[in-house]
């Protein structure tokens, strides 16, 4: 089991956030990093080759900005927020490299992933109120390659550190609603979870 840190691209999502900042007069920062967990089980076919499966989940740090002010008895409030997360299942192939004073390995991973998002914007100026809320999700396949190192703690447990690159682009389909309007619009947003990752955790051998 490992703790995971990643810097996904999320280009289209951040472009959408920039447009919301312009519309609502806010200054929410771009989404740049996410954290999560990874759990996998590997069966060693030989001392050098292993085959396994796993689960993983990533939550990108939510970004938001809001402010309120009152001028000449007119109350003004503006806010935006954007958040997204991803989880999936995968198969992995592990290759143990020649030993040094620690164990090195190379892993290739291919899986099916689902990503979801929610974004919200709101303006209140006196009696005028406008806002939007959108949420959706999508599923697609992706792969990851990584290089890891294990440091033995005991006969059955090791500490591992792993660095990798993920390729995963998911098109999420969502519903967009506006304050005071019953009808909803359909939208699509690309959630690009491609990027570099660092993972640390424990390995157990039984």
**Predicted confidence band of residue 100 (pLDDT cuts 50, 70, 90):** low
3-state DSSP: the chain helix, strand, coil percent, rounded to 5?
Answer: 5, 75, 20
pLDDT of residue 95: 95
Lookup result for tokens 């294990």: 150
Lookup result for tokens 């447990």: 157
pLDDT of residue 122: 96
182 has a pLDDT exceeding 80: no
**Predicted confidence band of residue 205 (pLDDT cuts 50, 70, 90):** confident
Report the percent of the chain where pLDDT is more than 90.
Answer: 81
SS3 169: strand
pLDDT of residue 192: 98
pLDDT of residue 101: 65
What span, in angstroms and rounded, lies between the C-alpha atoms of 89 and 179? 37
70, with CB counted inside 10 A (0-12, 13-18, 19+), is: exposed
pLDDT of residue 179: 82
Report the percent of the chain where pLDDT is more than 70.
Answer: 99
75 has a pLDDT exceeding 70: yes
**Over residues 103-124, mean pLDDT:** 96
| End-to-end Cα separation, the chain, in angstroms | 14
The residues, ordered by sequence, that sit 6+ positions from 114 with a Cβ below 8 Å of its Cβ are: 86, 87, 88, 137, 138, 139, 170
Of residues 126 and 31, more confidence is placed in 31
pLDDT of residue 184: 87
103 has a pLDDT exceeding 90: no
SS3 77: strand
pLDDT of residue 181: 77
């Amino acid at each position: 089991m490992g703790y995971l840190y990643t810097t996904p691209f999320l280009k289209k999502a951040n472009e959408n956030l920039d447009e919301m900042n312009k519309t609502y007069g806010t200054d929410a920062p771009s989404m740049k990093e996410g954290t999560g967990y990874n759990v996998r089980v590997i069966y060693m076919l030989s001392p050098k080759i292993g085959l396994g499966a796993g689960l993983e989940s990533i939550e990108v740090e939510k970004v938001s900005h809001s402010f309120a002010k009152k001028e000449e008895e007119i109350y003004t409030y503006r806010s935006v927020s954007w958040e997204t997360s991803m989880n999936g299942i995968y198969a992995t192939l592990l290759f143990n490299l020649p030993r040094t004073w620690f164990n090195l390995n190379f892993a290739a991973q291919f899986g099916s992933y689902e990503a979801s998002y929610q974004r919200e914007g709101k303006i209140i100026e006196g009696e005028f109120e406008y806002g939007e809320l959108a949420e959706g999700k999508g599923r697609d396949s992706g792969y990851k390659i990584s290089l890891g190192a294990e440091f033995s703690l005991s006969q059955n447990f090791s500490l591992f550190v792993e660095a990798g690159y993920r390729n995963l682009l998911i098109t999420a389909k969502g519903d967009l609603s506006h304050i005071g309007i019953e009808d909803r619009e359909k939208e699509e947003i690309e959630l690009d979870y491609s990027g570099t990752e660092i993972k640390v955790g424990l390995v157990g051998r039984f």
